[in-house]
Amino acid sequence: MDFAAARKVMLDSQVRVNDVTDRDLQAAFGAVERERFCAADRAFSAYADIEPEVAGERRLMLPRDLGKLMQALDARAGEKALVLAGPYAAAVLARMGLTVTAQDSDAAVFDITGAALADEGVSTVVAPLSQPQGEGYDLIVSEAAVPVRPESWIAALRPGGRLAVVERAGPVGKAVLYVRGRDGVSRRELFDCAPPVLAELIPEPAFAL
């Protein structure tokens, strides 16, 4: 399979046409080898309009949705980024000149993607996704959805830092952008999409009278 040709088709037919106009982001999508972030037997599907398997419950986000989500972050070279459950997004940000840490609770994700992430200069850490490692991040992003507002993720941002994530409690989720201020947090809704929800972040049922 000609992955380079498939990558160009993905960029032209799924990313650019969906209002992803940031040239640096486009260039990163066109350069990062998405097939290296799938399970080996799913590499053929890396550039299709689907969510191919990485490992376990992890899936790659649809290119059009990830492009729009990341464009909202307005990422800049030299910034410090944390990517949760999103190794491909981590590689894209690193290609754009950011200092990136990829975190996942499933070590099998890095068994699949670790070599590709190392080639991009991305640091990796295995830890529960409810507990972001480090603090003072300029931006945080996830390729998976969260069931509720991720307070611990917001707390890991520096003042002025941005979090782009999909909040999903039903069939369709809402991509949102949080910006942490010195005295509070702003929230802006971006678009509808439906990536898989991080099951480990679903709150335990509570008994109430």
The fraction of the chain above a pLDDT of 90, given in percent, is 88
Q: Are strands 123-126 and 173-180 parallel, antiparallel or unpaired?
A: unpaired
For residue 182, what pLDDT band results from cuts at 50, 70 and 90? confident
Q: Which two tokens stand for residue 203?
A: 């709150």
The residue among 79, 142, 137 whose CA lies nearest residue 109 is 142
**Dist CA 177 CA 57 (whole Å):** 24
Quick check: 199 and 144 in contact, CB under 8 A? Answer: no
* φ/ψ (deg, to 5) at 205: -60, 140
For residue 202, what pLDDT band results from cuts at 50, 70 and 90? confident
User: Average pLDDT, stretch 24-44?
Assistant: 94
Could you tell me the pTM of the whole model? 0.93
The fraction of the chain above a pLDDT of 70, given in percent, is 98
For residue 163, what pLDDT band results from cuts at 50, 70 and 90? very high
For residue 76, what pLDDT band results from cuts at 50, 70 and 90? very high
Topology at the third CATH level for domain 3-200: Rossmann fold (3.40.50)
Q: What is the pLDDT of residues 83-137, one digit of tens each?
A: 999 999 999 999 999 999 999 999 999 999 999 999 999 999 999 999 999 999 9
Question: Residue 178 forms beta bridges with which residues?
Answer: 163, 187
